[in-house]
Amino acid sequence: MLRNRAPQTIAAANGIGKDSAFGAVAPPLYLSTTFTFDGFNRPRAYDYTRAGNPTRDLLADTIAQLEAGAGAVIVASGTAAIDLTLVCLEPGDLIVAPHDCYAGTWRLLTARQARRQFDVVFIDFADAAALELALARSPKLVLIETPSNPLMRIVDIRLVSEQAKAAGAKVIVDNTFLSPALQQPIKLGADFVIHSTTKFLNGHSDVIGGVVVAADPTDVKELTDWANTTGVTGAPFDSYMTLRGIRTLFARVERQERTAAAVAAFLSAHPAVLAVYYPGLPSHPGHAIAKAQQNGFGAMLSFEIAGGLDAVRRFVEAVEIFTLAESLGGIESLVAHPCTMTHASMSPEARHAAGISDSLLRLSVGLENEADLLGDLARALEAV
Ligand code: PLP
């Protein structure tokens, strides 16, 4: 394995040309569920794929290095990754989470709270008094999602990590919207980073997967053991595909971000658009923090369209290149209506509190030609 190289080199080349059996350049895919013993009571490095697998381990090593963590655990989905970080919570323990998080995260936390497995408080991280009040309750975990899904709000990871640690809590950052190419939360003080690798890391909308990266080797060991105990470890084929996606992570994200900036500028100047949420815009309230803690502004943005639900319907029916679908971070451009799609599992009250309106649309900007994408948006906005 490569060590101590630039992240672009780790992404492109970790594990390349290291096959000891036949000298394969691309690391082999080990689908086998089980591995031979060397003899009686003499297991080799791997014995059973739920517990460990060479293809999955190479993916874990690659992401751990990209995130500057001590190690990583590859699991079956981003949701499973968040769930795995919750194993340290006991009844009565508290987790602080953002009120505008991904709705699946909201559903997971509220469902487990309803079973009295732990307590959760959802707060607006931009509200310093609310954060102070929540930390005064001595939470065990603080979950940050920055930029948040779908409103692209920015949280100061370094500041919140310091405050959380002073209160005795460990910090988890959901880095799904940026990928380690654009943000490395462990370097800013986080204890855990989670990803839905389904998104930018795999990048091709053909694998559901997740990862937890931990800063502390003890946490890596504990989470590795729990993932095996609960059986949530990721499949070798999915790991192989995700590693293949990571090879082009930096090239994809760089290009997609450039086009997203052009899309944000175009939408900001359009009369049918009421507001644009993109941290790269100097008018975005989180712009300065994003600029300081990120290596770029990413390829996700959302906007409010004038004309309510009717306009939303006409817009999504008129686009031809942007595809109406959930998910994000792939090579193709997608449009989603959070209220009826990604955030439909949130209660209307929770959506309202988070500021997710009926006229909000979310864009994931892909690798298509910039002029084609802007033309597609212009035509669809004419139709509203
Ligand atoms: N975190 C964020 C920010 C997401 O957007 C998503 C899914 O959209 C998840 C976590 C959950 O990931 P998965 O769908 O892989 O379970």
Query: Given pLDDT bands bounded at 50, 70 and 90, which one contains residue 381?
Result: very high
Whether 87 shows a pLDDT value over 90: the answer reads yes
Which pLDDT belongs to residue 345?
Answer: 84
Rounded distance between C-alpha atoms, residue 8 and residue 6, angstroms: 5
Measured by CA distance, the residue closest to atom 13 of ligand 1 is 78
Average pLDDT, the chain: 97
* Active-site choice (50, 187, 247, 313): 50
Q: What percent of the chain has pLDDT over 90?
A: 96
Distant-in-sequence, close-in-space partners of 266: CB < 8 Å, separation ≥ 6: 374, 377, 378
Query: Given pLDDT bands bounded at 50, 70 and 90, which one contains residue 300?
Result: very high
pTM of the model: 0.97
Nearest partner of 260 among 236, 279, 282, 239, judged by Cα: 279
Spelled out in words, what is the top-level CATH class assigned to the domain 250-382?
Answer: alpha beta
Query: Given pLDDT bands bounded at 50, 70 and 90, which one contains residue 245?
Result: very high
134 lines ligand 1 (CB under 6 A): no
Rounded distance between C-alpha atoms, residue 122 and residue 109, angstroms: 10
Which pLDDT belongs to residue 38?
Answer: 97
Whether 40 shows a pLDDT value over 90: the answer reads yes
pLDDT tens, position by position, 246-283 = 999 999 999 999 999 999 999 999 999 999 999 999 99
CA of 173 to the centre of ligand 1 (A): 13
State both tokens at 273.
């658009």
Q: What pairs with residue 166 in β-bridges?
A: none
176 lines ligand 1 (CB under 6 A): yes
Whether 1 shows a pLDDT value over 90: the answer reads no
108 lines ligand 1 (CB under 6 A): no
Mean pLDDT of all residues in 4-15: 97
Half-sphere exposure at residue 158, Cβ-oriented, CA atoms within 13 angstroms = 9
CA of 102 to the centre of ligand 1 (A): 7
Nearest ligand 1 atom to the CA of 145 is 3
Question: By three-state DSSP, how is residue 220 classified?
Answer: helix
Which pLDDT belongs to residue 304?
Answer: 98
Query: Given pLDDT bands bounded at 50, 70 and 90, which one contains residue 350?
Result: confident
Which pLDDT belongs to residue 346?
Answer: 85
Mean pLDDT of all residues in 289-308: 98
172 lines ligand 1 (CB under 6 A): no
Query: Given pLDDT bands bounded at 50, 70 and 90, which one contains residue 43?
Result: very high
Query: Given pLDDT bands bounded at 50, 70 and 90, which one contains residue 156?
Result: very high
298 lines ligand 1 (CB under 6 A): no
Question: What are the boundaries of each domain within the chain?
Answer: 7-246, 250-382
Which pLDDT belongs to residue 33?
Answer: 98
Active site residue 19: no
Q: Hey, how many other C-beta atoms are within 10 angstroms of the C-beta on 40? A: 5
Nearest partner of 370 among 324, 315, 333, judged by Cα: 333
For the domain spanning 7-246, the CATH number is: 3.40.640.10
CA of 38 to the centre of ligand 1 (A): 40
Which pLDDT belongs to residue 160?
Answer: 98
